[in-house]
Structure 1
Amino acid sequence: MWKNRNVWIILTGEFIAGLGLWLGIIGNLEFMQEKIPSDFLKSLLMATGLVAGIIVGPYAGKITDQKSKKTVMLWSGLLRTISVIFMLIAIATGSVWWMLVFFVTIQISAAFYFPALQAAIPLIVKDKDLLQLNGVHMNVSTLSRIIGTAVAGILLVLLPLSMLYIGSLVAYLGLLILTWFLNFEENTNSSSEKKNTNGKTSFKDVLPVIKGLPIVFMTLLMTLVPLLFLGGFNLLVINISELQDSSAIKGWIYTAEGVSFMIGAFFIKKISDNFSPYKILFGSSLLVGVSQIMLYFADVFAVTIAAFLVFGFSVGCFFPTASTIFQTKVPKDFHGRFFSFRNMLDRIGFQVVLLLTGFLLDFIGLQLMCLLYGLLGIVTTFFFYVKNKQMLTANQEN
């Protein structure tokens, strides 16, 4: 795997793009803290971009299955690069409306880019290497997040806010150039035949495939549990910083969660040798709920850091396992539509959790909200566990 040039291009591109992404995210938080006082209004603004991504999702899935994955990644990468210009205009004019345009365009870009990337990875390496590559890919993403947030914090002190987005723009241009050098075989014959036979390829064709694969269907549902934490992650960080009256806690949180995530993703290959994918998913999901309950004591520095360490490790195990299940169990002809469907499901989940988080932060506060989310996550995990046991029993009887 490590002799494969495409692997290095994907990983290097992920690192560079991750730096740009997190420079932009920290810049977004700074701009919104300055311009928008309400947490709910902040969440509403971010959710608008997610809606745009959901709307174009079905079209993105069909295009990814019908066209070259590399071509889709190039065009979506170009749109992502252009979107940063809108944010530079927002800073220059002080307009929240231009920030809205930025959110919409960058989320539309993501709606095309990430399904194409997930569909391309199984074409680059063999199935036996997928879990390892998914883990390393997520570790590279996390490393870029740690470095990106640290660099962004330094730049905010030394330079104007616009310089964060200039750095983001340069990073996205770098990813665009690297993507151009990808070279792998794409088998579009089956999709073409399907298109010629049925007249057109429908996005809805993927739904019976998901329904017919119980492990895929259950894994899709399980991914909703970490979303309870991830959907309002940045709002949580802002509120913890205000609760503890410390700007430095932001950096500690991102670093603790990121390092712990990398440890989980690094050891997932060894963990998977001893435990089934289901046990890893259920165990990780349970830990997510525990980490949220720990944030009931978010006013205590040590407990806060411990909570994010637990959370980081759990999702570091969860997401590489889930991605590998999807890439190996779903037929490759449906990868574009499936990963687009998954992106849409994630975006809807993010949107609901983001709005709910903003609302609850304004009305019941951080600590009670985290307790509520944690209990909900644990109950949901237990429900899925019981359902899985019932399905396994029914299959054995049949």
Structure 2
Amino acid sequence: MWKNKNVWILLAGEFIAGLGLWLGIIGNLEFMQEKVPSDFLKSVILAVGLLAGIAVGPLAGQITDQANKKTVMLISGFTRSISVVFMLIAIETGSVWWMIVFLICIQISAAFYFPALQAAIPLVAEEKDLLQLNGVYMNVSTLSRILGTALAGIFLVIMSLSMLYITSLIAYLGLFILTWFLTIDETKQEQETKDGAPAKAGFKEVFPIIKGLPIVFMTLVMTLIPLLFIGGFNLMVINISELQDSSTIKSWIYTAEGVTFILGTLFVKKMEEKTSPYKILFGCSFVIGFSQLLLYLADIPVLSVLAFAIFGFAVGCFFPTAATIFQTKVPKEFHGRFFSFRNMLDRLIFQVVLLVTGFLLDVIGLQLMTVLFGSLSIVMTTLFYTKYRQLRSTNSLKVEASS
């Protein structure tokens, strides 16, 4: 795997793009803290961009399956670079509306880029290396997040907000250049899907595939659990900072969550050798619920950082496992549409959680909200686990009866 230049290009590209992404995210939070007083309005603004990404999702899935993955990544990467210009206009004019244009453009580009990326990974690596590659890829993403948030904090002190976004633009252009050097062999997939190919069928063709693969459907449903936490992540960080009257706590939270996420992705490979992927998913979901409950004590700095550290480790184990199941169980000719659908589903749930988080933060406050979310996560996980045990029991009975 490590002798494959495409693997190195994807990892280096993710690191560079991650720096740009997190410089932009911190910039967005800084801009909104100055211009938007309400948490709910902040969540509405962020949700507008997500809605645009959902709207183009079906088209993105079809194009990803029909077109060259590298071409899709290049065009979306270029669009993402251009979108930064709108944010520079927003800063210059002080207009939140230009920021909304920026968010719409960058989310539309992401709606094309990430399904193409996920579909490209199993094309450049062997199946036996996928879990390791997914873990390493997420580690690189997390390292870029840690470094990006740290640099953003430093840059906001020594440079203007506009220069922060220009730095982000440079990172995006770096990713665009790196993508040119990718070599993805899609000839085998094209041969399998020509002449009335599934890849050329409609977006809805992916739903029977999901329904016919219980392991994929269950994993897809399980990914909703961490989204209850992730959806309001940035708003919760802002509120914890205000609750503790500390700006530095933001960096501590992002760093702690990032470091433990890396540890989780490294540890999950050993877990996978000793237990089933579903036990990993259910166990991590319970831990995520516990970390949310722990934020009831968010006014205590050590415990707030600990809660995010626990969450980071849990999702570090959860997401590589889920990604590997999707990449290996879903037929490759459906990868574009499947990952586009998953991206749409994630964005939709993210948007709902974002709006609900903003509303609840204004109405009942951070601590009661986290108790509500934590309890919901644990109840949902218990119900999913019970259903999973029933399905296993039913399948075992069928096997015994047939034998």
Instruction: Say whether the fold is shared (TM-score over 0.5).
Output: yes
- 1:233, 1:306 → 2: CA distance? 15
Does the CA contact (< 8 Å) of 1:67 and 1:188 recur in 2? no
Counterpart in 2 of 1:151?
151
Counterpart in 2 of 1:90?
90
Are 2:8 and 1:16 aligned?
A: no
Counterpart in 2 of 1:346?
346
TM superposition shift of 1:22: 0.2
TM superposition shift of 1:199: 11
Does the CA contact (< 8 Å) of 2:11 and 2:137 recur in 1? yes
Give runs of aligned pairs for residues 208-219 of structure 1, distance below 5 A: 208-219=208-219
Counterpart in 2 of 1:3?
3
Counterpart in 1 of 2:383?
383
Does the CA contact (< 8 Å) of 1:42 and 1:358 recur in 2? yes
Unaligned runs of 5+ in 1: none
- 2:392, 2:63 → 1: CA distance? 36
> In structure 2, the residue corresponding to 1:229 is in which secondary structure?
helix
- 1:371, 1:26 → 2: CA distance? 26
- 1:267, 1:391 → 2: CA distance? 28
Are 2:123 and 1:135 aligned?
A: no
- The alignment yields a C-alpha RMSD, in angstroms, of 1.0
Counterpart in 1 of 2:255?
255
Does the CA contact (< 8 Å) of 2:290 and 2:374 recur in 1? yes
Counterpart in 2 of 1:296?
296
Does the CA contact (< 8 Å) of 1:84 and 1:169 recur in 2? yes
Q: 1:189 aligns with which of 145, 166, 191?
A: 191
- 1:200, 1:130 → 2: CA distance? 26
TM superposition shift of 1:242: 0.1
Counterpart in 2 of 1:66?
66
> In structure 1, the residue corresponding to 2:194 is in which secondary structure?
helix
Change (3 A) 1:61 1:271: same
Give runs of aligned pairs for residues 219-238 of structure 1, distance below 5 A: 219-238=219-238
Counterpart in 1 of 2:401?
none
- 2:196, 2:313 → 1: CA distance? 42
Unaligned runs of 5+ in 2: 399-403
- 2:70, 2:262 → 1: CA distance? 28
Alignment deviations for residues 72-107 of structure 1 (CA, whole Å, 9 cap, x no partner): 000000100011110000000000000000000000
Counterpart in 2 of 1:333?
333
Does the CA contact (< 8 Å) of 2:193 and 2:199 recur in 1? no
- 2:196, 2:331 → 1: CA distance? 14
Does the CA contact (< 8 Å) of 2:65 and 2:337 recur in 1? yes
> In structure 1, the residue corresponding to 2:134 is in which secondary structure?
helix
Does the CA contact (< 8 Å) of 2:199 and 2:333 recur in 1? no
TM superposition shift of 1:123: 0.3
Does the CA contact (< 8 Å) of 1:264 and 1:314 recur in 2? yes
Percent identity between the two aligned chains: 71
Counterpart in 1 of 2:39?
39
> In structure 2, the residue corresponding to 1:37 is in which secondary structure?
coil
Give runs of aligned pairs for residues 337-376 of structure 1, distance below 5 A: 337-376=337-376
- 1:169, 1:301 → 2: CA distance? 34
Counterpart in 1 of 2:163?
163
TM superposition shift of 1:192: 3.0
Runs of 4 or more off by more than 4 Å in structure 1? Answer: none
- 1:199, 1:270 → 2: CA distance? 36
TM superposition shift of 1:200: 5.0
- 1:199, 1:78 → 2: CA distance? 25
